[in-house]
Structure 1
C-alpha cells in the first residue's frame, strides 16, 4: 500500500482528537461555539461582512464541519490543502469595526485565536459534560493537539493555549473585549429560529430548538448575561444534554458515518478496522496519551 494511503494525517488513531471528534454531540458543540464566537465584536463583524450568514448559515455550518473532519481524519496532504485554502480566503478579506470605523484584516491573529479557542473550549466542554470519559490529562492533551489545527488556519502554535489551564487563562484575559452587538443579536435570532420551509417548521420547533437551547444553556454565565437571556439551572442543562447525547449515540455509528462527506469511513478504509474511533477508547486505553 502506498505511503499516502496509510497516512494517519495530522492526529491519527492514537490521539484524543481522533476519538472525540467522532461523537455526534459535536454538532451541539459546534452551535455552542457559534454562540460564543459571536460575542467578540470584531470576529462576528468579520463573518457578517464577508458572508451571507442569514441565507447560508447551514452551508457555513457544513463547511466548518467538513474542515474539522478533514483535519481530523483526512490525510496530511488533504489537511494541508484545506488549510491553505482557508488561509488564502482569510488573507483577502477585511471588515470595518462598527464602533471605531477601523478597517481590520480577517486573518488578524487575535481574531483567529478567539475563533480557535471558542471552538476547542466548546468541543471539550460539551464532550465532558455530556458524559464522555475524558480525564484531566486527556483534556490537556486534546487542547495541546489542537495547536496543530490552529496552525492550519494561520496561527503560530506557540501563541495558542497548550492545556486547559492556559485555555481558561486566555478566556479570562479576553473577557473584557466581549460584548453584545447587533451582529451577535442577529446570530442569536438565527440560531433560535433559523429560516425553515413551512412543512419543516414543526420539526424545527421539536428538534432544532432542543439543540440550540442546549448549546445556549451550556455557555458560561457571562455569555448569558451579555445575550440578555437567562438559561435553565446548570443541573437541568446537564441532565438534558446527557439525555440528548444518549439518544444521538444510540444511532449506530455506521449509520451516522454514512452521511457525506464520510471522513471517518474513508479513514478506516485507509488505515484498517483498528483505526475505528470511539471516545470510550479513552477509558479502556488511558495509555493512548503516550502512544504518539
Structure 2
C-alpha cells in the first residue's frame, strides 16, 4: 500500500511539473531578476494562482476555449496534444507561473517564447455562416478569447472552492489583464462585469459553436490519458469543471452535472476533498507555498521588497 501511495504521489507531481523528485528548473530561476515583477504577495493573482483551484479552472478553461472554432482549429491542426498532452500542460503552467511570480524580464521573455511558438499556428476555418475565416494564434481577437476563457475559468473555480480574494473578483480580473496585454490582447477586461459582458458578446454574436470536433475534444478532456491511479480523482475534477460552467455552455458542450437518478451528486464537496488530497501530495499542509512562490519571495527579499505575509 505504501508503494502504491508513493507511485500516486509521484504521478501527481509529474503531471503538474514534469518531475517527481525535484521542482522544475525554470521555477527555481524565478529567484533571479532585479525587480518585483507584475504581481506581488497579497495580490489577487497570487491568492488565486497559489491555491489548488486552478486545477479545476484549467479543465474548465480547456472546455470553454474549445467552443471557438478558430482556437480549436489551431489546437487540432498544429498541436500534438493527443500524443503528449502533459507537455502542453507543463508549458502552460510554466508561462502562468512565470508571469505570476517572475520578474518583469522573466515574464516578458516567457511570453515572447510562447508567441514564437504560436507564429506557425495559423490557417483557415469555416465560420457559423459558412464563410471562410483565417485564424492565427497571435491574432489579438483570438488571443482575447483565450485570455477571457482563462480568466473566467480560474475565477469561477476559485469563487466556488477557494478562499476570499484580496480585493475581490474585480481585482483578479484587473490584475490578470496584464497577462492579456503581454499576449497582445487589445481590450482585456478590467472588472468581472466587463468580463461577463465580453463573454456575452462572444455568445450572442454567434462566434462560438458546438460540432463534431468539439465533441471529440470534450471526450479527450473527459478521458485524459493519465496514470490509472489518477483517474478516479480526475473524474471528480472534470465533474467539478462541468459543475462550474454556466448552463448555456454546458448545453453547447453536451455536458450535464452528474446525478444519481433525480439527485445531483455532491460534486462540490467531493472536489474539495480531492483538491485537499492533491495539496498533500504536492507538499502537505506545512508547505503552503509552491517552489515558484518560494523562489519569487527569495528574489523579493534580495531586492528589498516586503514579504511579511508569509504566515
1:215 match: 241
User: Which residue number in structure 2 is paired with residue 285 of structure 1?
Assistant: none
| Cα contact 1:50–1:95 (8 A) shared by 2 | no
Partner of 2:52: 24
Is 114-123 or 208-217 further displaced after alignment?
208-217
What CA distance in whole angstroms lies between the structure 1 residues aligned with 2:34 and 2:122? Answer: 39
Match of 2:83 among 38, 55, 58: 55
Partner SS state of residue 97, structure 1: strand
Gaps of 5+ in 2: 1-31
Separation (CA, whole Å) in 2 of partners of 1:48 and 1:29: 21
Aligned equivalents of 2:117, 2:286: Cα separation in 1: 34
Query: Could you tell me how far 1:173 is from its partner in structure 2?
Result: 0.8
Measured in 1, the distance between the counterparts of 2:232 and 2:121 equals: 38
Aligned to 2:137: 106
The aligned residue for residue 284 of structure 1 is none
Residue correspondence of structure 1 range 73-88 to structure 2 within 5 A? 73-88=101-116
Instruction: Name whichever structure is richer in helix by fraction.
Output: 1
| Contact kept in structure 1, 2:33 and 2:299, CA below 8 Å | yes
* Distance in 2, Cα, partners of 1:7 & 1:191: 38
5 Å-filtered alignment, 1:87-236, equals: 87-99=115-127, 100-134=131-165, 137-156=167-186, 159-175=187-203, 176-196=206-226, 200-201=227-228, 203-232=229-258, 236=266
Query: Which has the larger displacement, 108-117 or 239-248?
Result: 239-248
- Report what 1:252 is aligned to: 284
1:210 shift after superposition = 1.7
Give, in whole Å, the separation in 1 of the partners of 2:309 and 2:212. Answer: 40
TM normalised by structure 1 equals: 0.81
Unaligned segments of structure 1, at least 5 residues: 282-292
1:275 aligns with 2:304: no
Residue 264 in 1 paired to residue 293 in 2? Answer: yes
Cα 1:243–1:61 change in 2 (3 A) is: same
The structural deviation recorded for 1:206 is 1.3
1:5 CA drift (Å): 4.3
What secondary structure sits across from 2:163 in the alignment? coil
CA RMSD of aligned residues (A): 2.7
1:46·1:94 contact (CA, 8 Å) conserved in 2?
A: yes
- CA distance, structure 2, for counterparts of residue 268 and residue 64 of structure 1: 22
User: How many Å separate the matches in 1 of 2:275 and 2:225?
Assistant: 25
Contact 1:43 1:111 in 2 (8 A): yes
2:69 is aligned to 41
Distance in 2, matches of 1:142 and 1:62, equals: 23
How many residues are aligned here? 267
Question: Structure 1 residue 126: deviation in Å?
Answer: 0.7
TM-score, structure 2 length as denominator? 0.77
SS in 2 for 1:55: coil
In structure 2, do the counterparts of structure 1 residues 179 and 89 end up closer, same or farther at CA, with 3 Å as the change threshold? same
Give the SS at the match of 2:170: helix
For 2:170 and 2:176, locate their aligned partners in 1 and report how far apart those are by CA, in whole Å. 10
